Structure 1
Amino acid sequence: MGQPPNVLARKCASRRYLAFVASKWSLLVINALDDGPARNGSLMRKVEGISQKMLTQTLRDLETTGIVKREDHGTVPPHVTYELTPLGKSLRQEVRSLVFWVESNIPELSATTRS
């Protein structure tokens, strides 16, 4: 039997997944998909400051890890939507909690970073 996952261990695969899931853009895209399926343009408007290239890469990474599902509706012009998978939905509450914590602690965080 192998070793249990340990994100602190250098060779543990959990580090790779943590890097995908905990990146700034991944957290913001997961948060933006909280309301349900969205198209690329909608995500670009919701996640202010993300470039098209970064959004595409983030969506691909999240799709590869099974957190986001890409659905091509097979129409012309292309109609593609992205939504959280059941695995992504299980992560959604954790992301919400982190976002809430950051937003709730802005005064303290700002005071600390000014020092």
Structure 2
Amino acid sequence: MAKKRSLFTRWWFWLLVVVAALLAAGWVAYGEDMRRTSEAGTAYAARVACSCRYVAGRSLDDCGKDKLAGMELVMLSENTTNRSVTASIPFVASDTASYREGYGCVLQQWDR
């Protein structure tokens, strides 16, 4: 009969522990910087996309082409009722810009 191995002697368990430890260390080392950079990127993308959509009158899909290199993770969505565009990086940051007559597109107030 084959000897049954415990959970702690299996190679995949230790691989999972090492990967989890590396991810945690990366988050501790770079998490705050990543969050701040993501907030700046989503704020920029929301304001530019809102202006593109509601000032220039282009479609949101066409406005998505204006994103800068490195902004591939930023997703754009619109609320036509409020005339606003939200830019987000899932689970990290999100910002919304709304069109206001006479002012153009302005970011919503940050509660940070």
State the TM-score, normalizing by the size of structure 1.
Answer: 0.30
Question: Radius of gyration: which is bigger?
Answer: 2
Q: Could you say which structure has the higher strand fraction? A: 2
Which has the larger share of helix?
1
- Normalising by structure 2, we get a TM-score of 0.31
